Amino acid sequence: MFNDYFSVRVLIPAEGIKQLQCIMKYFLISFLMFWLGANGVTVAQGKNTGNIFRYEDKRFFGSIGFAGVASQVDGDMYGGYRKLGLTAGPSVLVQFHRNWVLQTGVWYTQKGSRDGRLTGSDLGTTIEKYKLNLHYIDVPVIVNYVFKETYLFGAGLAYNAYFSSKEVSETMNGTRIYDPGEFRFNRHSAELVLNAAAMANKNLMLYLRHHISITAIRDYRYTATGTGNQFNRYFTFGFAYLF
């Protein structure tokens, strides 16, 4: 009897497969670039270009960074890092110990969620697309361990200031644009940041980060999809120019 009422098939459309392939390529390219950058450090050292995090030489650095974003929203019924975006901003790095670097900055970040699926059931077949675009100003504070004066491995917290969003769902019944005033997001939230970075040369840093919300970005009472509180989760891979 349970199966009679709840017999549902979920099929992956061609668009979903293309999105999955795009995400896999993104992370493969990110991994390869990070690996090549890390190995490029060894080559650079062989050419006597010097290691940038040499405590005796310099302790304060400024930087401008740019990165790609692959994100999802935990709690919205949709899985997978399908929402691609960008993040950019200035940072300051302070080497307060031979083996430790404090890093902070102000970043603009595009986050959100995306899904497209074909769902079949006893009641018929529906095509559903969901798009959520979120815009934040982030202020991360990361403590990094310095390895061989060239690599950084760190963790920290980030303050997230939400300032705009656009949320749309599409079905065979039509398109719905959700009012951000009714389905509102929390203006302030926080997240955990895990960081790995390598200097490709004395000015160029490559990095990979994982960001996980530790406070809700939207309360369950105001969610358009899902049944619980919602949280951001995303990866960033990019570069920073140090000066």
Angle at 75 between CA 71 and CA 81, to 5 degrees: 20
pLDDT at residue 18 is higher than 90? no
pLDDT at residue 199 is higher than 90? yes
CATH of the domain at 100: 2.40.160.20
pLDDT at residue 39 is higher than 80? no
Q: How far apart are CA 11 and CA 211, in angstroms?
A: 30
- Which of these, 83, 139, 153, lies nearest to 111 by C-alpha position? 83
Query: For residue 42, what pLDDT is reported?
Result: 42
Q: Find the domain containing 133 and state its range.
A: 2-242
Q: Tell me the residue type at 130.
A: Y
In this prediction, residue 8 has a pLDDT band, given cuts at 50, 70 and 90, of very low
Q: How far apart are CA 85 and CA 68, in angstroms?
A: 6
What is the reported pTM? 0.77
In this prediction, residue 215 has a pLDDT band, given cuts at 50, 70 and 90, of very high
Q: What is the pLDDT of residues 84-128, one digit of tens each?
A: 999 999 999 999 999 999 999 999 999 999 998 766 556 555 658
Query: For residue 93, what pLDDT is reported?
Result: 96
Of the two residues 223 and 166, the one the predictor is more confident about is 166
Q: What is the pLDDT of residues 54-67, one digit of tens each?
A: 776 788 999 999 99
| C-alpha neighbours within 13 Å on the C-beta side of residue 81 | 21
Q: How far apart are CA 112 and CA 219, in angstroms?
A: 15
Give how many domains the chain has, as a whole number: 1
